[in-house]
Amino acid sequence: MHHFEYRNDSLHCEDVPVAHIARAVGTPLYLYSQATLERHFKAFQEAFAGAAPLVCYSAKANSSLAVLTLFRKWGSGLDIVSGGELFRGLKAGFEPRTIVYSGVGKRVDEIDAAIGHDILMFNIESMEELALINQRAGALNRRARIAIRINPDVDPQTHPYIATGLKKTKFGIDLATALAGYREARRMPNVEIAGIACHLGSQITSLGPFREAVTGLIQIFRELQALEIPVTYLDMGGGVGITYHEESPPRLDAYADTLIDAVDGTGLRLILEPGRVLVGNAGILVTRVLYRKQGKDKIFIVVDAGMNDLMRPALYQAYHAVQPVEQSARENIVADVVGPICESSDFLARDRSMPDACRDELLAVMGAGAYCFAMSSTYCSRPRVAEVMVYGDQFDVIRRPEDMQDLVRGEQLPHWLTKPSDPW
Ligand code: LLP
C-alpha cells in the first residue's frame, strides 16, 4: 500500500484529496507521502535487521531537504555524488561519519570539502582519483577513508543508461586493477582502507546480478585478507527496482538474505545505498489537462507538465502510470499524454490506453518520487514546479514553485551592453 488511493472516486494522498492540494498550490506539482517514505525505509531496515547494516539513502533519487531530513531522523546515512549533495546532506543534519561519496568525477574542491568534514568514506573510481585523494588529505593534514569501487562486470538487465556495473561503462575499477589499487593504497600515508564498494545499476528486478556481484566481491575480500589488507565495510550500492507497470522486483527480505548470507562469517559490515526503492512510489506528479487534441491518427492529451518536469519517459522510454484524479464512468481511449515543450520527445505516456480526459481535469503521474523532480530543469524557461509533503490529514509546501524572477536569477548582461553609449 502506497497511501495513494481512491476514496469516493477521488484520489487521496494519505488523508488529503489530491484535488484539494492542486487547488491550493497550483499545478503541476510533486506530491510525496511521508507515511509511504517511512514505511519503505522501515521495511528496508527490517529486512536487514539481522545484519545491522549502514543504510545510506542515495540522495540523487530525491534530494529535497524535507525528504533528506526524514531519512536522517529515521536513522539513515547518505550516499552522495557531488559537493552539492554533501551541502544538502549537512544542511539536513546528517553526521559526516554516515556519508559515503561515489562518482567518477570528483573535483578537488568537492574532495577537499568531504575530507574537511571527515565523511565515512570515498568510493574511489580511478587510480588517479586515489592518488589525488591521498595528496589532498596530506595537504589538509587528514587521513581519508576509502573503498575501491569495483566494476564487477555483471549485467544488471536494466535500461542501458542506468547499467553501471558492466566493464564497458565508466564506473568503478576492474578487479585486477583494484587489487593493485589496494596494494598501492596500503602504502599511501594519508588514506585508510575502509571498504570494498560496488553499484551495479538501477531498477534491477532480479536477484541474480546481486548474487553474482556479491560473490565476486567476497572473493576480493578473501584476496585482501591473504594480503593482510583489512577492510571493514562492504558497500553493495543501490539498485533494487520497483513496480512502475508490470515489473516484479525481488522482495526486500530475499534481497537482504542474499547479501547477508554472502557476508556471513566475514565480519564485514554491509553498507547499502537504496534510492528508488525508498522514494519512487512515495510520490506522484499532479498535472492539469490543457487541451484534448484530436490529431489525424491519434488523440493527444496536452497537459501542463512537460519533459522538463519529468524527463524519464523522454530519456529512458520509462513507463509511468497516468490516472485521473477524479474517477468517473467514461470511455477508454488510446492517447499520448504530452507536455507543452517543443520536442517530440516531450511525452509522459505514449500510445497509452487510459480513461478519456477532458480540458481542465487533473491527472496523476504515478511512481514519480525518484529521479523525477531531481532531474527536472527549466528548459524552455519553464520555472520548476512545487513540491508538497503530506502527512496524515496535513500537507505543506516543501519547495515553493519557482517564479519568473527565479528564471533569471544570477544572470547579467556583459558590462559593454550596459553602457549608455552602447552602439547596439
Ligand atoms: N549508489 C550509486 C553509486 C548510484 O550511482 C546510484 C544510482 C544509487 C546508489 C541508487 O540507485 P537506486 O537504488 O536508486 O537504483 N535517473 C535514472 C536512475 C539513475 C541511477 C543512478 N545511480 C532513472 O530515472 O531511472
Of all residues in the chain, what percent are helix, strand and coil, respectively (each to 5)?
35, 25, 40
Ligand 1 within 6 A of CB of 274:
yes
Ligand 1 geometric centre to CA of 424 (Å): 48
**288 and 26 Cβ atoms separated by less than 8 Å:** no
Last-in-domain residue among 241, 276, 311? 276
Do residues 243 and 277 make contact, with C-beta atoms less than 8 angstroms apart?
no
In this structure, are 132 and 203 located in the same domain? yes
- Does residue 413 lie within any of the structural domains? no
User: Reduced to 3 states, what is the DSSP secondary structure of residue 50?
Assistant: helix
- Residue of minimum CA distance from atom 24 in ligand 1: 371
Ligand 1 atom nearest to 374, measured from its CA: 16
pLDDT digits (tens, 9 = 90+) for 327-339: 999 999 999 999 9
In this structure, the answer to whether residues 325 and 197 fall within a common structural domain is: no
> In this structure, is residue 118 part of a structural domain?
yes
What pLDDT was estimated at residue 420? 82
Does 167 lie in the same domain as 99?
Answer: yes
Residue 26 falls in which region: left (phi positive, over 0), alpha (psi -120 to 50) or beta: left
* 356 and 287 within one domain: yes
Query: Is 222 within the bounds of a domain?
Result: yes
Ligand 1 atom nearest to 315, measured from its CA: 24
Give the pLDDT score at 218: 96
> Residue 353 Cα, ligand 1 centroid: separation in angstroms?
29
Q: Within this chain, do residues 221 and 206 fall inside the same structural domain, yes or no?
A: yes
Judge whether 56 counts as a catalytic residue. Answer: no
Ligand 1 center to 81 CA (angstroms)? 10
The answer on 195 and 227 residing in a single domain is yes
Roughly how many angstroms between the first and final C-alpha of the chain, as a whole number? 62
pLDDT tens per residue across all 424 residues of the chain: 569 999 999 999 999 999 999 999 999 999 999 999 999 999 999 999 989 999 999 999 999 999 999 999 999 999 999 999 999 999 999 999 999 999 999 999 999 999 999 999 999 999 999 999 999 999 999 999 999 999 988 888 888 877 787 788 899 999 889 999 999 999 999 999 999 999 999 999 999 999 999 999 999 999 999 999 999 999 999 999 999 999 999 999 999 999 999 999 999 999 999 999 999 999 999 999 999 999 999 999 999 999 999 999 999 999 999 999 999 999 999 999 999 999 999 999 999 999 999 999 999 999 999 999 999 999 999 999 999 999 999 999 999 999 999 999 999 999 999 888 877 6
Domain check: are 83 and 25 in the same one?
Answer: no
Residue 165: CB within 6 Å of ligand 1?
no
Are 28 and 35 contacting, i.e. CB atoms less than 8 angstroms apart? Answer: no
Query: What pLDDT score does 165 carry?
Result: 78
CATH number assigned to the domain comprising residue 45: 3.20.20.10
Residue 419 domain flag: no
The 10s digit of each residue's pLDDT in 266-284 is 999 999 999 999 999 999 9
Domain that includes residue 84, residue range: 34-276
Domain count, the chain: 2
Query: Is 248 a member of any domain?
Result: yes
Report the C-alpha gap between 155 and 163 in whole angstroms: 7
- CATH number, domain of 386, equals 2.40.37.10
Please name which of 293, 305, 296 lies closest in space to residue 358, comparing C-alpha atoms.
293
Q: Specify the pLDDT at position 1.
A: 56
- Listed in sequence order, the residues at least 6 apart from 295 whose beta carbon sits closer than 8 Å to its beta carbon are none
Which one of the listed residues 56, 342, 358, 380 is annotated catalytic? 342
Q: Are residues 390 and 289 in the same domain?
A: yes
One-letter amino acid of 203: Q
